[in-house]
Structure 1
Amino acid sequence: MQAWQVHENGEPSEVMRLEEVARPTPGDGQVLLKVRAANINFPDVLMAKGQYQVRPPLPFTPGVEICGETEDGRRVIANPALPHGGFAEYAVADAAALLPAPDSLDDAEAAALHIGYQTGWFGLHRRARLEAGETLLVHAAAGGVGSAAVQLGRAAGARVVGVVGGAAKAAVARELGCDVVIDRTSEDVVAAVKEATGGRGADVVYDPVGGDAYTQSTKVVAFEGRIVVVGFAGGVIPHPGLNHALVKNYSILGLHWGLYATKNPRLILHCHEQLTELAAKGAIKPLVSERVPLDGAADAVQRVGDGRTTGRVVVVPTLENGAAA
């Protein structure tokens, strides 16, 4: 079968190689899955660079989120067991962690439902306890993680303010349904948020960026507001001043979604049931901006890492070269 392999760490476009390899053999409690679609996540970029908290042995195949097909024909969502990731024709996954792919979503959309939307659901509902009528501020609102939070916030009845970088991404955020869109490349984010909220600020801030975005968050979070720290796609890990959190009376909430798999896996299933219901009602639908063939995966991963994409870019092994849409 064909699979992308990383033999050394570096930029994805430089170290990912498409090779002919043997199909992976499932271990105890694992199943072999035919990959129907594999969603690209920022951890795939970091793993290629050797900068992620999980460091699979070299060589490995990236791809941490797929829609796959079991040998008995079931369509499922899974996180492949590394080093046999999803940017390949076949992958392996833990049988106990398989989730049914929603009938309302196609393969690419189903592949993009899991990590980003689960992260959004846990961040907004489990950690921040977002309530209808509150204001939700989402950084990188046109990206894969941010777009999921925007949809989930709207489904929860929140007023959503989206921060993006550039006019094209602003258009995407508006299409997603953001009530207010702020372009950080041409607007003062802090002033714009305060104007949009009558000076009150945002009740919940969803931050997958870190760095300057986090600093802005501390300046616009409302009284008794909550900042949910999701990741550091901007490359800079902030060092929060706890005296500032004290005098402004806001909470800083960390979210490591993967930890629920070991600490409380039943919540992951409950979350998936909630997401499936929302998808069936049309309240959420993963924004798949591109479907690329298997041989286009390295370039696509690089573009995700460089911040040159919107929504989700999904690798579909059955697509022929040049057939991406």
Structure 2
Amino acid sequence: MKATRELKTLMKAIVFETPGSPSVLKAQDIPAPTIQTETEVLVRLRAAGLNPIDTKLRARGTFYPDKTPHVLGCDGAGVVEAVGAGVQSFQVGDEVFFCNGGLGGSIGTYAEFAVVDQRFLAIKPAALSFAEAAAAPLVLITAWESLYDRGRLQAGQKVLVHAGAGGVGHVAVQLAKLQGAEVCTTVSSEEKANFVKQLGADSVILYKNTDVVDEVLAWTQGEGVDLAFDTVGGETFYQTIPA
């Protein structure tokens, strides 16, 4: 293992023992994670992302209820503190960001340190702050996998993105435009409509004021979209099918 200074044995973290309201979260000293394999990297965290999955796990419990205390957070950004002997792509001092842990198995990012396999790390873009980088991974992965890997979105296709001003939605709008697609998206207010237009949305539907299906069919000359991305679920899913 390569490191430039003595590593801490304890770290501060936000933990919880049993599910419940936000009041179950407590600041506590816990053992700091250590590198166990030659491809792992120890990251000193500078920022952690907060995602809906975190609040759900805090309220309902993690996927590994016997492993306590739980440390939530799957998105993080920070500085490489130490690297395993087999790590080639990163070195001590690199600024990185990642999505890993926080589901109840491995320690999440609501802590001073995290150990991450090099496969899940990326160099933080210089244009992004640590906070901005920590907010990006999970929403980017979700939108990327949905549009590119599963949806096979192609240039010239028309795509409907529900909740285009939301965490995943606003990334999906940009990725779809990057692919060369035409984008229609739904929002709840004029303020959000202006926001998604700035991101490149070609058509914006204020879903509280009009029929979404009618608007989509009008936009596509009655043909419907090639791909729909629903980040809302429930009744919205069923309303999307005719579009």
Fold similarity call, TM over 0.5:
yes
State the 1:59 CA deviation: 1.9
8 Å CA contact 1:81–1:94 kept in 2: the answer is no
Normalising to structure 1: TM-score of the pair? 0.61
State the 1:5 CA deviation: 1.0
AA partner of residue 71 (structure 2):
T
Could you tell me which of 98, 108, 111 is aligned with 1:78?
98
Paired-residue identity, %: 36
Would the alpha carbon gap of residues 28 and 115 (structure 1) be closer, same or farther in structure 2, given more than 3 Å must change?
A: same
CA distance in 2, matches of 1:91, 1:106: 19
AA partner of residue 206 (structure 2):
D
Instruction: Please say if 1:42 is aligned against 2:65.
Output: no
Instruction: Please say if 1:14 is aligned against 2:23.
Output: yes
8 Å CA contact 2:19–2:60 kept in 1: the answer is yes
Could you tell me which of 120, 123, 126 is aligned with 1:103?
126
8 Å CA contact 1:147–1:173 kept in 2: the answer is yes
**Runs of at least 5 residues in structure 1 that lack an aligned partner in the other structure:** 221-325
Q: Which moved more, 1:56-65 or 1:15-24?
A: 15-24
Could you tell me which of 157, 171, 177 is aligned with 1:148?
171
1:234 aligned residue: none
CA distance in 2, matches of 1:90, 1:170: 39
- 1:15-70 deviation line (CA, Å, top 9, x unaligned): 22233444333433533211122122222122112266x34633211110111211
State the 1:183 CA deviation: 2.2
Could you tell me which of 180, 185, 189 is aligned with 2:212?
189
Q: Which moved more, 1:167-176 or 1:56-65?
A: 167-176
SS of structure 1 residue aligned to 2:70: coil
AA partner of residue 32 (structure 2):
R
Could you tell me which of 99, 104, 110 is aligned with 1:87?
110
After TM superposition, the structure 1 = structure 2 runs for residues 249-264 of structure 1, keeping only pairs within 5 Å, are: none
Would the alpha carbon gap of residues 16 and 175 (structure 1) be closer, same or farther in structure 2, given more than 3 Å must change?
A: farther
2:77 aligned residue: 67
Would the alpha carbon gap of residues 58 and 163 (structure 1) be closer, same or farther in structure 2, given more than 3 Å must change?
A: farther
Would the alpha carbon gap of residues 167 and 14 (structure 1) be closer, same or farther in structure 2, given more than 3 Å must change?
A: farther
Two-structure CA RMSD over aligned residues (Å): 2.2
Normalising to structure 2: TM-score of the pair? 0.79
Would the alpha carbon gap of residues 3 and 51 (structure 1) be closer, same or farther in structure 2, given more than 3 Å must change?
A: closer
SS of structure 1 residue aligned to 2:226: strand
Instruction: Please say if 1:173 is aligned against 2:196.
Output: yes
After TM superposition, the structure 1 = structure 2 runs for residues 1-325 of structure 1, keeping only pairs within 5 Å, are: 1-11=11-21, 13-29=22-38, 30-50=40-60, 54-55=63-64, 57-71=67-81, 72-82=92-102, 83-220=106-243
8 Å CA contact 1:153–1:159 kept in 2: the answer is yes
State the structure with bigger RCO (CA 8 A, min sep 6), 1 or 2. Answer: 1
Higher helix share: 1
SS of structure 2 residue aligned to 1:34: strand
CA distance in 2, matches of 1:37, 1:158: 33
CA distance in 2, matches of 1:123, 1:194: 22
1:289 aligned residue: none
**Runs of at least 5 residues in structure 2 that lack an aligned partner in the other structure:** 1-10, 82-91
SS of structure 2 residue aligned to 1:202: coil
Would the alpha carbon gap of residues 45 and 168 (structure 1) be closer, same or farther in structure 2, given more than 3 Å must change?
A: farther
SS of structure 2 residue aligned to 1:70: strand
State the 1:167 CA deviation: 3.9
8 Å CA contact 2:18–2:61 kept in 1: the answer is no
- 1:76-130 deviation line (CA, Å, top 9, x unaligned): 2223434421122222222343222233433233223322222222222222221
